Amino acid sequence: MKIVVYGLGIIGASICASLKRRNYSVYAKNRSRKPIEYALQHGMIDGEAKDYHGADIIILALPPRIAMRELDEGNFPDNIVVVDICGVKKPLEEVVFSRKRAYRYIGAHPMAGKETTGIASASATLFDNANLILTRNARTDNDAFDTVKRLGTAMGFRRIVECTAEYHDRMIALTSQLAHIVSNAYVKSPLAETCLGFTGGSFQDMTRIAGLDENVWTELFFLNSDYLTAEIDRLVFQLQKYRNALIHSDENKMRELLAEGKKYHSSLLEY
Distance CA 127, CA 152 (A): 9
Nearest residue to 62 (alpha-carbon basis) of 75, 80, 74, 78: 74
Whole-number pLDDT of residue 74: 95
pLDDT digits (tens, 9 = 90+) for 97-134: 999 999 999 999 999 987 778 899 999 999 999 999 99
What is the helix (H) or strand (E) element at residue 101, kind and residue range? none
Q: How many other CB atoms are there within 10 angstroms of residue 138's CB atom?
A: 5
Among residues 127, 148, 140, which one has the least CA distance to residue 59?
A: 148
Kind and range of the H or E run holding 172:
helix 165-172
pLDDT, tens digit, 9 for 90 and up, residues 82-106 = 999 999 999 999 999 999 999 999 9
Q: What is the mean pLDDT of the segment spanning 245-270?
A: 93
Residue 198 CB neighbours (<10 A): 9
- pLDDT for 116: 76
Question: Does the pLDDT of residue 154 top 90, yes or no?
Answer: yes
What is residue 270's predicted lDDT score, i.e. its pLDDT? Answer: 59
The topology under which CATH files domain 2-163 is Rossmann fold (3.40.50)
pLDDT digits (tens, 9 = 90+) for 178-204: 999 999 999 999 999 899 899 999 999
Q: What is the pLDDT of residue 263?
A: 94
Tell me the CATH number for domain 168-268: 1.10.3660.10
User: CA 151 to CA 149: how far, in whole Å?
Assistant: 5
pLDDT band for position 271 (cuts 50, 70, 90): low
Mean pLDDT for 12-40 is: 96
pTM comes to: 0.92
Whether 20 shows a pLDDT value over 90: the answer reads yes
Q: Are 29 and 2 contacting, i.e. CB atoms less than 8 angstroms apart?
A: no
Q: Band of the pLDDT at 268, cuts 50, 70, 90?
A: confident
Contacts of 226 (CB under 8 A, 6+ apart): none
* Rounded to 5°, angle at Cα 130 from 226 and 170: 15
Region 218-223: mean pLDDT is 98
pLDDT, tens digit, for every residue of 56-67? 999 999 999 999
Q: Domain extents for the chain?
A: 2-163, 168-268
Q: How much of the chain exceeds pLDDT 70, in percent?
A: 99
pLDDT bucket at 168, cuts 50 / 70 / 90: very high
